[in-house]
Amino acid sequence: MRLLVTGATGLLGRVAVLDHRDRHEVVALTHAQPLDVPGVRSVQVDLTDEDALVEAWDEVQPDLVLHTAALATIEACERAPDLARRINVDASAALARLAASSGARMVHVSTDAVFDGTAGPYRESDQPAPLSVYARTKLAAEEAVLGAAPDALVARVNFFGWSRSGTRSLAEFFVNALSQGTAVTGFTDVEFTSLYSRDTASRLVSAAEAGLAGLFHVGSSDRLSKFEFGRALARTFGFDETLVQPGSVATLGAGAVRSNRLSMDSSAFAAATSRPMPTLAEGLERMRQDGESGYAARVRGTEHLEAGT
């Protein structure tokens, strides 16, 4: 199978490329920089240029596209709403049309931020209430993708893991600080059901291969606050958990509006795939093992440097 991964340098896209290159012919679609991964072809294209996107699609002719690319920073979307719409909505719709016309499967990665955080755990049938430009464009993208490609899989996710920069995920924030003995604040009033990035990527691709379609929530089986997550990570990695101090997100002051309590109910996805969802503790343990085994170094592209070769 030829798997096209958009946003292949990002937190989710990079692990999807690394973990599927031995099983499939993987093509990495990137924007600003090519992806240098052995055995993986890298194609650079501006997703907002539909003619260039069509040309790249015709060249690659994928069987499955895992669409992880997005303008995902809330503040960046607030500063540039038109760009957010072109990347998050228009490009996603264009990919869905290409997938539908060519018979390819599509997985579109959305977000738990489409909800306002006043209730939960949220099910797929719950009414979204996006609070930010980012959330509104991601919700619009869901509708555009399913409108153009009804057999697409749209997954609302929240994930953590190792990234190329080492600074892209909440887990890395805690690891970087705690490993240096630095005290940090964990918000007690921000909750999520986050899934380890490798589990997220593998489960999405497997579900699409099996023909799963429609809208699903894909997260951990339990929920934690950021404070609880930080303490759990400290215990898992052997850091001093007292360095994680409780705090409130209100201390951040004015800024882009965020939804704080965004736990999702992923039981429908678990049932559809006949696999229980991991707990956050299980995800943290796998992340720790991947850090020790050298996988994190492969994600960062520093494997040979750290091995001294």
Handedness of CA 291, 296, 302, 304 (dihedral sign): positive
The residues pairing with 216 across neighbouring beta strands, listed in sequence order, are: 155
Count CA atoms within 13 Å of residue 47 on its CB side. 28
User: What pTM does this model have?
Assistant: 0.93
- Reduced to 3 states (helix: H, G, I; strand: E, B; else coil), residue 246 is strand
**Residues contacting 140, CB < 8 A, separation 6+:** 85, 88, 89
Picking from 42, 38, 68, the residue whose alpha carbon sits closest to that of residue 208 is: 68
Please state which architecture CATH assigns to domain 2-166+193-222+265-282.
3-Layer(aba) Sandwich (3.40)
Q: Each residue of 268-305: pLDDT tens digit?
A: 999 999 999 999 999 999 999 999 999 999 998 864 33
Q: Kindly calculate the radius of gyration of the chain based on its CA atoms and give it in whole angstroms.
A: 19
Q: Each residue of 215-224: pLDDT tens digit?
A: 999 999 999 9
Domain boundaries, the chain: 2-166+193-222+265-282
Q: Each residue of 26-58: pLDDT tens digit?
A: 999 998 777 888 889 999 999 999 999 999 999
Cis peptide bond prior to 62, omega within 30° of 0:
no
